[in-house]
Amino acid sequence: MAAMIFDTHAHYDNQAFDPDRDSLLSSLPDHGIGAVVNVGASIESTERAIDLTGKYPFIYGVAGVHPSECGGLEEKDIQWLKQQASLEKIVAIGEIGLDYYWEEPEHQIQKKWFCRQLALAREVKLPVVIHSRDAAKDTLEIMKSEKCGEIGGVIHCFSYSKEMAREFLNMGFYLGIGGVVTFQNARHLKEVVEYAPMDRLVLETDCPYLSPVPYRGKRNSSLNLPLVAEAVAKLKGIGGEEVERIAWENGMKLYQI
């Protein structure tokens, strides 16, 4: 039997899927996609992610607020997230972290809510899905000071150097690998994939974003994951199905499914 594919990070609640969400999601199992984790980025998108987990047996959810969306957060929102974390199909807190690509919200505000949501994850005993963009140093410092190795999780859409990868791997974190690994200019990421042990890598789309080549710039979906698996396989010197199989096991361990 062919390996099943686990999309460990998707945003099917995004409006890009409004025209055909149901038909697309219903078709995924027939294409070998056995599990999808739909990740919250705000209170509203977490609500939508929870709805999707109720409609599709193979979809799991992640509850949390993305750094770019944390400007208006209040403690009552954290308490709401805490309630959602007890739902059976909520498998992590995220996506949380730091994004310094944009000026807003201020870095101090991002750091505050990153730390608060890490504390929440520790409280509810769930792993974390970490978003870190142009913020390697601060992300690592916070993760060390908050002892994130005890919480566990994944650095989603990993985009840093091999040296940074080593730091996160040493904490026991998984690295999320998506369409960027197929880009010609993704030298750093390819080095990371070569370097990291296969049992610490998970496959993800971040759909509707980051479609692999040859669909770069178009709407992404879990159907494109075999292209990512092939790119990883080439770098690892193993077969694409082997990558899918190991990545499936890694995803199940990561999210404790």
Residues 6+ apart with CB under 8 A from 155: 130, 132, 168, 173, 174, 175, 176
DSSP-based three-state secondary structure for 234: helix
* pLDDT of amino acid 1: 47
C-alpha–C-alpha distance, residues 98 and 203, integer Å: 21
* pLDDT of amino acid 2: 62
What is the distance between the terminal CA atoms of the chain, rounded to a whole angstrom? 21
**Per this entry, what is the length of the chain?**
257
HSE value, Cβ hemisphere, 13 Å, CA-based, for 168:
32
Give how far Cα 17 sits from Cα of 24, 66, 69, 182, Å: 8, 20, 20, 23
C-alpha–C-alpha distance, residues 210 and 224, integer Å: 10
C-alpha–C-alpha distance, residues 23 and 14, integer Å: 15
Contact 110, 67 (CB under 8 A): yes
* pLDDT of amino acid 102: 87
Q: What pTM was estimated for this model as a whole?
A: 0.96
Q: What is the DSSP string of 83-152?
A: HHTTSTTEEEEEEEEEE-SSS-S-HHHHHHHHHHHHHHHHHHT--EEEEEES-HHHHHHHHHHTTGGGT-
Structural domains counted in the chain: 1
Print pLDDT tens along the chain (257 aa). Answer: 467 999 999 999 999 999 999 999 999 999 999 999 999 999 999 999 999 999 999 999 999 999 999 999 999 999 999 999 999 999 999 999 999 998 899 999 999 999 999 999 999 999 999 999 999 999 999 999 999 999 999 999 999 999 999 999 999 999 999 999 999 999 999 999 999 999 999 999 999 999 999 999 999 999 999 999 999 999 999 999 999 999 999 999 999 99
* pLDDT of amino acid 103: 85
Max CA distance (Å), the chain: 50
The CATH number of residue 200's host domain is 3.20.20.140
Cα 253–Cα 255–Cα 257 angle in degrees, nearest 5: 75
DSSP-based three-state secondary structure for 57: coil
Dihedral, CA atoms, 25, 230, 199, 54, nearest 10 degrees? 0
Domain with 35, as residue range(s), is 5-254
> What are the tokens at 198?
């296969």
